[in-house]
Amino acid sequence: MRWDSTALAIMCVPCQRSGGYFVPTDQLVLASLDAERPHPVHALASRLRSTWADRLFHAGAVRVVVAMDDLAVTRSWMLPPTTPTIDDLWPQLHDSLNRSMEGTRIPVWFVRWSHLVDPSDYGQQVGLIAQACARNDAELRWRHLHEVMGEEVARRLRFERSTGRGDTPVVMRRRAADQVANYAVQGQLVHQWGVAAYLHWTAEETELMGTVEPAFATRVVAGPGYGESAPASVWERFPPRFADLVEELRLYADDLPQTPGAVRPKVATAVLEGLAGLLTPGTCELARRRLRSLDAVLGGGPINRARVRRLLEELRDLELEPGWAVEQVVKKLFCQLTSRYTDAQNRDELDRHRHLVADLANALDPQISDQVTLALTGSMTGAPEGIWHPYFSDIDIMPLFATAPSPDLLARVRQAYTVPRRPSWVHLNEGAREGVAGLTRDPANGMFVADQLHTLTAVEAGKLGRLVAPMRHVGGSPAVFEAFTRAHDARTRVA
């Protein structure tokens, strides 16, 4: 390893709390004595995707090595009697770690700490420093070590009081000494290796690693650690491959305040953080638990809560990669969790939607009603309980034609869409429009015209197929509806 061209970070193996124990896991989460949160690898990944990474190049680094400290697990963790081994967890964990770094500006390698050092020699070095921690030695060079040791023991005493594990003071002091010594020896080695840069998590980590070798600090990248910097925008927490989904979620978030059941902005942010976690390798289960907890304490009726549970289970069965199925579930989860409603409100809004469909049909000018047909599609044709969300369910009604409509006919049809009176949160749409979902022309000149279906692009044909499958006639000419249906069926058979 060429350390002079390598930036190094050392991280704890991911772990979860189980009672008073800490259990290694292949999920990218980290339990401390105080809480369980996403693993710091996510914060580092966020930095390495930004221009912040350029300072590593300036320091001479051409790669980042992240060492997972597997040696500390058996030495100083509070493990249950039986626990998964790092050997068992590493293949899945290594894959999740690599995926967490997609889109970084510098190559990132993940290794086990035990593969960088000789475990036996390293254990002896840690043991010597741990003995110094335990001695009441007033020698000046150990004074800072003892101060740090006292803080670590106090933290473990607080944990013991909150969990009642039954650890004796002797056991707690031994584990605290091992923890402090581990950091100190790592600081010594990082300095000896001459790494191009050390990526620190927090100022506390820097202090611990410099207790025996103060010169370690000269290797540390200047500025706050990746665990201390200002939190990234909630949108930046989504994996980069879901950029299209993020753009759509932003639109839903913009519409949220006008819905009657909107939660407070901080709660909406917590929901978005949870959704980002659902899509991030290694944090799915933690995110799922948090979203379930939010659903349990927020207002809302049985239908609202049942939809959240159903969507969470549906997402569990999908491969978490960009695509229509995953993105639909995530968008619906956002709506169900951030805009809450009772069963009665759901029923009232469904009635409103049904009346609006009838109002649109009645608004068509009789002079043109034989030249156009109105076809209901989207969620109202098949959603459970008739509507998937009372405040976010658009009403999609396609205006279909036998032949390309004249500008005057099209204008008169679209004027009818403006007639029904509706609250701001109800959107009455045509089912598709130019410039959205990859459509490059007005559907009224192609997708929605029976004698133009042979001109459709693959994107248009795919979109139309999803719209036609559940559609039903709700207004205008039945003859045009039948003609369009026959033309679409004929095109599908040929394709």
pLDDT of residue 324: 86
Of 344, 343, 352, the residue nearest 393 (C-alpha): 352
What's the pLDDT tens digit per position in 349-398? Answer: 999 999 999 999 999 999 999 999 999 998 888 766 678 899 998 899 99
Q: Which tens digits make up the pLDDT trace of 44-54?
A: 998 999 888 98
- Mean pLDDT over 422-430 rounds to 90
21-24 and 15-18 beta bridge pairing? antiparallel
Q: What is the pLDDT of residues 258-287, one digit of tens each?
A: 899 999 999 999 999 999 999 988 888 889
Please list, in sequence order, all residues whose beta carbon lies within 8 angstroms of the beta carbon of residue 133, skipping any fewer than 6 positions away: 145, 146, 149, 176, 177, 180, 181
Identify the three-state secondary structure at position 429. Answer: strand
Tens of pLDDT, residue by residue over 442-489, are: 999 899 999 999 999 888 888 899 999 999 999 999 999 999 999 999
Of the candidates 8, 24, 32, the one whose C-alpha atom is nearest the C-alpha of residue 93 is 24
Tell me the two tokens of residue 373.
């047909």
For residue 153, pLDDT beyond 60: yes
Give yes or no for a contact between 278 and 268, defined as CB atoms under 8 angstroms apart.
Answer: no
Q: Where are the beta strands (DSSP E) in 148-235?
A: 197-198
Q: Which of 65, 135, 129, 76 is nearest to 101 (CA)?
A: 65
| Cβ atoms 7, 64 nearer than 8 A | yes
The answer to whether 346 and 387 are in contact (CB under 8 A) is yes
Domain with CATH 3.40.50 in the chain: 3-219
Percent of the chain having pLDDT more than 90?
55
Determine phi and psi for 303, rounding to 5 degrees. -65, -45
Rounded Cα distance between 408 and 61, Å, is 65
What is residue 382's predicted lDDT score, i.e. its pLDDT?
73
Bridge partners (DSSP) of residue 110 are 66
In the predicted model, what is the mean pLDDT of residues 99-123? 94
Q: Which amino acid is at 142?
A: W
pLDDT tens digits, one per residue of 202-245: 888 888 898 888 899 999 998 888 887 665 688 888 988 898 89
Residues 294, 295, 296, 297, CA torsion sign: positive
Q: Could you tell me if 380 and 387 are in contact, meaning their C-beta atoms sit under 8 angstroms apart?
A: yes
Place of tokens 């999803």: 466
Fold of 3-219: Rossmann fold (3.40.50)
DSSP element (H, E) containing 68 = strand 63-69
CA distance 181 to 109: 26
- How much is the pTM? 0.65
Average confidence (pLDDT) over 88-101: 93
- Mean pLDDT on 339-348: 95
Pairing of strands 395-400, 428-429: parallel
Say how many C-beta atoms besides its own lie within 10 A of residue 297's C-beta. Answer: 7
- Residue-wise pLDDT tens digits, 290-324: 999 999 999 999 999 999 999 999 999 898 899 88
pLDDT at site 314:
94
What pLDDT is attached to residue 226? 84
Is pLDDT of 133 > 90? no
Angle at CA of residue 179, ends 147 and 186, nearest 5°: 95
Three-state SS for 184?
helix
Q: Which helix (H) or strand (E) is 354 found in, with range?
A: helix 343-363
